[in-house]
């Protein structure tokens, strides 16, 4: 906290004394003023609705499909042998490089943003879920077969309880990546959203407003991470018993 206060004090002093150009670097007081002006505005409301709506849709779709795919690969060595080798190469493709393709296919719509973010979230959670399943205690898996549990029963009673902590950590990570994916897509080409606002205000040298938008994104990220931490403690309380 002291480090942050010191940084803000130096930044404000430098801006006021002319050591840096406030037009290019802004100032803490300017950011606060811009934040209070931007957040209640209709433009901010529309942009936040567009951005966070796309993030929520991408996170849900990517999380569900990625987790199901990862569980399937982790439980089936045959399926993993066929599809598994393609995960790493596909995941290594820079998503930003695919953004122009998505925009060409889907236009300047929410779909392009969602698909880009889903392409990030899916592979992260697929690999995360596959690794989580593979890390389940082999003795537990052997015991489940000995007592005659079906595949479905093994999944619900053995695999998921053991793999959920790892998968939950992956969910926290992928929300951040879904946010990054949507913002990046909006900055490249879209008609609305916080990413588009960042580009717009940057091009008109309204740097304080750009920082204000970044503060909004940081607040949302921190709040969401806190919610995930709370949910994780509540859902995984059985591990402490």
For the chain, which ranges sit under pLDDT 70?
Answer: 236-241
The reported pLDDT for the residue numbered 105 is: 85
- Residue 237 is predicted with a pLDDT of 63
pTM of the model: 0.80
CB 126 within 8 A of CB 69: yes
Specify the pLDDT at position 197: 92
pLDDT digits (tens, 9 = 90+) for 88-104: 888 888 877 888 888 88
Q: Are 158 and 141 in contact (CB under 8 A)?
A: yes
Q: Which of 156, 92, 91 is nearest to 126 (CA)?
A: 91
Q: Where are the domains of the chain?
A: 27-240
Using only the alpha carbons of the chain, give its radius of gyration.
22
- CB of 213 closer than 8 Å to CB of 201: yes
Its CATH class, for the domain covering 27-240, is: mainly alpha
Distance CA 5, CA 27 (A): 13
Residue with tokens 């999944």: 155
| pLDDT, position 145 | 74
pLDDT value of position 239: 56
Using the structure block, give the residue that is written with the tokens 């990546």.
177
SS3 content of the chain, % helix, strand, coil (to 5): 85, 0, 15
pLDDT of amino acid 238 = 55
CB 72 within 8 A of CB 132: no
């Amino acid at each position: 906290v002291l480090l942050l206060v010191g940084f803000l004090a130096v930044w404000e002093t430098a801006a006021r004394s002319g050591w840096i150009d406030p037009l290019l670097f802004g100032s803490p007081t300017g950011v606060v003023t811009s934040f209070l002006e931007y957040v209640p505005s209709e433009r901010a409301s529309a942009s936040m609705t567009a951005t966070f709506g796309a993030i929520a849709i991408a996170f849900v779709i990517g999380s569900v499909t990625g987790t199901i795919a990862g569980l399937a690969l982790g439980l089936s060595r045959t399926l993993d042998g066929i599809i598994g080798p393609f995960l790493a190469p596909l995941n290594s493709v820079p998503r930003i490089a695919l953004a122009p393709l998505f925009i060409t296919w889907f236009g300047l719509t929410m779909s392009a943003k969602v698909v880009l973010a889903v392409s990030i979230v899916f592979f992260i959670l697929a690999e995360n879920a596959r690794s989580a399943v593979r890390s389940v205690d082999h003795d537990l898996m052997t015991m489940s077969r000995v007592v005659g549990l079906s595949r479905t029963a093994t999944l619900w009673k053995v695999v998921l309880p053991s793999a959920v902590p790892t998968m939950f950590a992956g969910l926290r990570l992928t929300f951040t990546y879904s946010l990054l994916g949507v913002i990046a897509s909006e900055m490249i080409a879209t008609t609305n959203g916080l990413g588009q606002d960042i580009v717009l205000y940057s091009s008109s040298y309204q740097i304080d407003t750009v920082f204000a938008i970044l503060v909004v994104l940081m607040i949302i990220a921190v709040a969401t991470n806190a919610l995930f931490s709370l949910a994780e403690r509540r859902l995984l309380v059985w591990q402490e018993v």
